Amino acid sequence: MSAAHQSDASATETPAGIVQGDLQDQKIAGYQSLLGVTPIQSVTLPGLQTQSGFKFDQVVVSYQTLGRLSPRRDNAILVGHALSGNAHVAGLHPDTGRPGWWDYHVGPGKAIDTDKFFVICSNVLGGCDGTTGPLSPRPDTGKPYGTDFPPVTVADMVAVQAKLIEHLGISRLLAVVGGSMGGMQALSWAVQFPERVRVCIPIATCASHSAMQIAFNEIGRRAIITDPNWNGGNYTPDCRPTHGLAVARMVGHVTYLSEYAMTRKFGRSLQPRVPAAADEAALFAVESYLHHQGESFVRRFDPNSYLYLTKALDQFDLFDGQPPEEVLSRLKARFLVISFASDWLYPPAQSQALVRWLKRCRVAATYINLETLYGHDSFLIENPEFAQVVRHYLDHELRSADTAKEAPAAG
Amino acid sequence: MSAAHQSDASATETPAGIVQGDLQDQKIAGYQSLLGVTPIQSVTLPGLQTQSGFKFDQVVVSYQTLGRLSPRRDNAILVGHALSGNAHVAGLHPDTGRPGWWDYHVGPGKAIDTDKFFVICSNVLGGCDGTTGPLSPRPDTGKPYGTDFPPVTVADMVAVQAKLIEHLGISRLLAVVGGSMGGMQALSWAVQFPERVRVCIPIATCASHSAMQIAFNEIGRRAIITDPNWNGGNYTPDCRPTHGLAVARMVGHVTYLSEYAMTRKFGRSLQPRVPAAADEAALFAVESYLHHQGESFVRRFDPNSYLYLTKALDQFDLFDGQPPEEVLSRLKARFLVISFASDWLYPPAQSQALVRWLKRCRVAATYINLETLYGHDSFLIENPEFAQVVRHYLDHELRSADTAKEAPAAG
């Protein structure tokens, strides 16, 4: 462990190792994806009105599909990405060669098996990796929306995903799966489109953010908007609030890891000194790691997008002020709810509260709290037990779908 | 709860309430201290050489004493303050009228009873509230040290406190008590001056920081040094890196509270809108609270001092690379070690590890993990169970000191 670290503070461990966040932030020497290079597509879809009342005439969506849609169009799985994710869910990126953020769990023979399922993943509305967001040009001025972009909600993200699914000719999804913000999308799908979701798999998520979850997000936002380069959201590409965004990412990173994971990876080991910097104070390895995480993140993420997406997370409320019974009685999907014992940012108690409500409303729900030691990021890392749970559940759904020979439900 | 909050986001609850950090950050309408107004003193002491080799010709120390020193000079208790604390431990401040940061637990009839004990508290070396620190003038230029101030360690802080104790004519302390950084000072006293400490009471602290504790501190430091106003540490009083320091304080604040405390105080309640700001996004109450905490902190704290003190925390290592048995075999003090079940920043496991080492080395140690629900800040808030534990232990020590009629030990 320490040897790998000493050679390059930014290097992650081998894929068998742990503690990295998304794969896409990492350099993984010699990493091979079973999918090879996977293309990312883009489509312009008819517009929509956001929950806040803003009308988009059209929306551009960046997405990726893997595997083949079955003749009955009943094997589609939509994957929702987390805050820092994008459409590139698995395989190697055509430009960068980096693996997609969920390459450990999406691919031939993997938990979400692309030999069996047609997997779809799209960048969310308000994101910054190909889908319409604050970086997109305003139709009237041609300049980026910046903070003129309307507030975005998880329901808005899901509404755009629904348009993409229609565009792909799919009337009903076999499953909607996602962790963290992706889990909120899965939950929102089950509520907004009960007829179009067979299985909902929310992972390491919650029905609404607690004060502590809001607080950590607000620290990140505050770091961004008090960076003078933020300039009310009207920054230029060569003068972005990168310091603020890096601090925000550092906060995120620490909250995604467990005490155990950090101790195992770093402990109190010191970063070896570079001779040229011999006059500087010794850095702990964990400090150097966080700096790298912050710096690599700012190269690929838009600060305004970070503000919009974290606000969407904080304002997400599955029940939206209604009695949970009323909301949940409309559901048709079956649920597999997964949490991780060491996840202190989205603690198991939140998943358990959700499952209690589902059970109370007679919604079919399986719940598992995995003893994985690596915190909130446990769904992003190589994790055989997690993979086994998801694989088994999906295979069972596929078999029962085959047995029932269901006709596709009306969209 | 919500009513109090709605009337003033910056107001704390009544003293019977909870969740505030130090008392000195709060406006507490009608708060009465049993001590009335308590003076803060200043003394210039002979210099010292820091662990890093820097020589101070003299050191100014801001301190407060409460109660009376007994004729035998055997009832002195030194209180170490935490990161954001200062010499003003209890009573009302002569200038601001605010209560000292530990007024709940220091005073007549309180856990640390000023009717029985002579209580001493001083601002630490490297601090910014009267003791020599980065804000102090350099003897050669008359300008603030800034980042020319030498690195400071917990051992350096304790060395200065030892000079203060000598100045006060005390050769042996009845007790050294402190929480968090104050707890590290207590531990360091027991190791550095075994003959001069009868009882050591480290609270919510550890023998050395974990990677996660370092990480949270580093986020705060990063926020400060990437604030353009930091300017390599050479800022002017009217152009300080206040944004960075405020973010650092926000990070600190969230880590000091428990999930339970934040949920109980704020939940997802919204900050009532001020009409003039009707176009702004709704703020959650917890966001507004954090903003206030950040803003009030920057008015009273020096950003460079924050950098130096957090570095001292991160680099503190009670055993300093030596075998724990060797270090602990030198101890003479008896220990009362206190942790809080809900403290996730300084988790009980760290105190338990310390106690295991003490027991293994046959050091008399009592350990209690209190079920207080309010996180790391549990030692700062009104907390009858905590008060009872400390009071009982100290009373017992005082009685056994009286019985033994010990002569003062040689300094």
Digit-coded pLDDT (tens) for A25-77: 555 667 889 999 999 999 999 989 999 999 999 999 999 999 999 999 999 99
Catalytic residue chosen out of the listed positions B84, B122, B180, B351: B180
Q: Looking at residue A398, what is its pLDDT?
A: 83
- Check pLDDT > 80 for residue A15: no
Q: How far apart are CA B100 and CA B379, in angstroms?
A: 14
| CB–CB contact B287 A215 (8 Å) | yes
Q: What is the DSSP letter of A117?
A: -
Q: Is A265 on the interface with B (CB under 8 A)?
A: yes
Pairing between β-strand A118-122 and β-strand A55-66 as defined by DSSP bridges: antiparallel
Please give the angle made by the CA atoms of B199, B201 and B207, to the nearest 5 degrees: 115
Do B21 and B84 contact (CB within 8 A), yes or no?
yes
Higher pLDDT, B259 or A364: A364
Please give the angle made by the CA atoms of B97, B101 and B104, to the nearest 5 degrees: 95
Alpha carbon distances (Å) from A390 to A41, A356, B249 = 26, 21, 41
- Check pLDDT > 50 for residue A160: yes
What is the Cα A68 distance to its own chain's centre? 23
ipTM score of complex: 0.89
Percent of chain A exceeding pLDDT 70 equals: 88
How close A385 gets to chain B, by Cα (Å)? 26
SS3 B27: strand
How close A387 gets to chain B, by Cα (Å)? 28
Q: What is this structure's pTM?
A: 0.91
For residue B243, the chain A residues in CB contact (below 8 A) are 226-227
Mutate one of A222, A264, A288, A293 to test the B interface: name it (highest B CB count within 10 A): A222
Mutate one of B239, B286, B293, B295 to test the A interface: name it (highest A CB count within 10 A): B286
Contacts of B370 (CB under 8 A, 6+ apart): B338, B339, B340, B341, B378, B383, B385, B386, B389
Position A401 confidence tier, pLDDT thresholds 50, 70, 90: confident
Higher pLDDT, A171 or A282: A171
Catalytic residue chosen out of the listed positions B305, B376, B377, B378: B376
How close A314 gets to chain B, by Cα (Å)? 9
* Known catalytic membership, residue B376: yes
pLDDT in single tens digits along all 411 residues of chain B: 233 333 333 333 333 333 344 565 555 667 889 999 999 999 999 989 999 999 999 999 999 999 999 999 999 999 999 999 999 999 999 999 999 999 999 999 999 999 999 999 999 999 999 999 999 999 999 999 999 999 999 999 999 999 999 999 999 999 999 999 999 999 999 999 999 999 999 999 999 999 999 999 999 999 999 999 999 999 999 999 999 999 999 999 999 999 889 999 899 888 765 543 434 555 899 999 999 999 999 999 999 999 999 999 999 999 998 999 999 999 999 999 999 999 999 999 999 999 999 999 999 999 999 999 999 999 999 999 999 999 999 999 888 877 665 445 444
Do B229 and B235 contact (CB within 8 A), yes or no?
yes
In chain A, the residue whose alpha carbon lies closest to the alpha carbon of B347 is A259
Higher pLDDT, A270 or B188: B188
pLDDT tens digits, one per residue of A21-37:
456 555 566 788 999 99
Residues of A noted as catalytic: 180, 343, 376
Q: Looking at residue A283, what is its pLDDT?
A: 84
Q: Which of A243, A284, A344 sits opposite B226 (nearest CB)?
A: A243
Q: Which of A216, A219, A286 sits opposite B211 (nearest CB)?
A: A286
Q: Is B81 on the interface with A (CB under 8 A)?
A: no
In chain B, the residue whose alpha carbon lies closest to the alpha carbon of A248 is B219
Q: Is B210 on the interface with A (CB under 8 A)?
A: yes
Contacts of B291 (CB under 8 A, 6+ apart): A222, B246, B250
Q: How many CB atoms lie within 10 A of CB B286?
A: 28
Q: What is the DSSP letter of B216?
A: H
Q: Is A320 on the interface with B (CB under 8 A)?
A: no
Mutate one of B18, B212, B346 to test the A interface: name it (highest A CB count within 10 A): B212
How close A359 gets to chain B, by Cα (Å)? 24
How close A118 gets to chain B, by Cα (Å)? 38
* Known catalytic membership, residue B343: yes
Q: Looking at residue B13, what is its pLDDT?
A: 36
Do A300 and A26 contact (CB within 8 A), yes or no?
no
Q: Which of A211, A287, A314 sits opposite B218 (nearest CB)?
A: A287
- Check pLDDT > 90 for residue A2: no
Lowest mean pLDDT among A276-285, A306-315, B251-260, B287-296: A276-285
Q: Looking at residue A400, what is its pLDDT?
A: 82
Alpha carbon distances (Å) from B160 to B30, B51, B118 = 36, 12, 19
pLDDT tens digits, one per residue of A205-253:
999 999 999 999 999 999 999 999 999 999 999 999 999 999 999 999 9
| CB–CB contact A294 B212 (8 Å) | no
Q: Which of A247, A262, A268 sits opposite B208 (nearest CB)?
A: A268
pLDDT, averaged across chain A: 90
Do A91 and A39 contact (CB within 8 A), yes or no?
no
For residue B294, the chain A residues in CB contact (below 8 A) are 222
Count interface pairs A-B at CB distance under 8 A: 125
Q: Is B317 on the interface with A (CB under 8 A)?
A: yes
In chain A, the residue whose alpha carbon lies closest to the alpha carbon of B258 is A212
Do A204 and A378 contact (CB within 8 A), yes or no?
yes
Q: Which of B216, B257, B268 sits opposite A254 (nearest CB)?
A: B216
How close A383 gets to chain B, by Cα (Å)? 22
